[in-house]
Homo-oligomer: A and B are copies of this chain.
């Protein structure tokens, strides 16, 4: 082990710093009447194109019953359709409707704009550095795989 204290301190500082960045980004994603969690669900269904509730539960780490209610709400609002799976009668295949896709696109565009705004004023070089750094962090942390076990 023997990881230097300064490294741990710097990583914790980065985490505090990035927590604030992310929370600012999250806050402004929405002028839609949907909560951040609901928006995440819409985005995830959009990315997956077709899925079942349990996929979303696992991917987004949201409680089963809570997800059930969110899906019910989105369905009631006409953003998605549920159709009982032919493979597994316990589950329903979930897909965005045209209206859901419209919201998905809107959320996507907003998120893209936020990132562009975040980088606004930085030089090409700085942007490249940030980009490369993010890829590196993700690659290295994924390599360990340890980040998603219980003893984290």
Which residue numbers of A lie inside 8 Å of B, CB to CB?
1, 3, 7-8, 10-15, 17-25, 28, 61, 111-112, 114-122, 126-127, 129-138, 140-148, 151-152
Complex CA–CA separation, A137 to B119 (angstroms): 11
User: A18 is contacted by which of B3, B13, B18 (Cβ under 8 Å)?
Assistant: B18
Contacts of A146 in B (CB 8 A): 117-118, 120-121
Complex CA–CA separation, A146 to B119 (angstroms): 8
Complex CA–CA separation, A7 to B121 (angstroms): 16
In the complex, besides A129-B136, A130-B137, 9 extra interface pairs with C-beta distance below 8 angstroms are A3-B116, A10-B131, A12-B115, A13-B138, A24-B148, A24-B152, A129-B140, A133-B134, A133-B137
Whether B118 contacts A7 by the Cβ 8 Å rule is: no
Whether B133 contacts A136 by the Cβ 8 Å rule is: yes
Whether A10 contacts B134 by the Cβ 8 Å rule is: yes
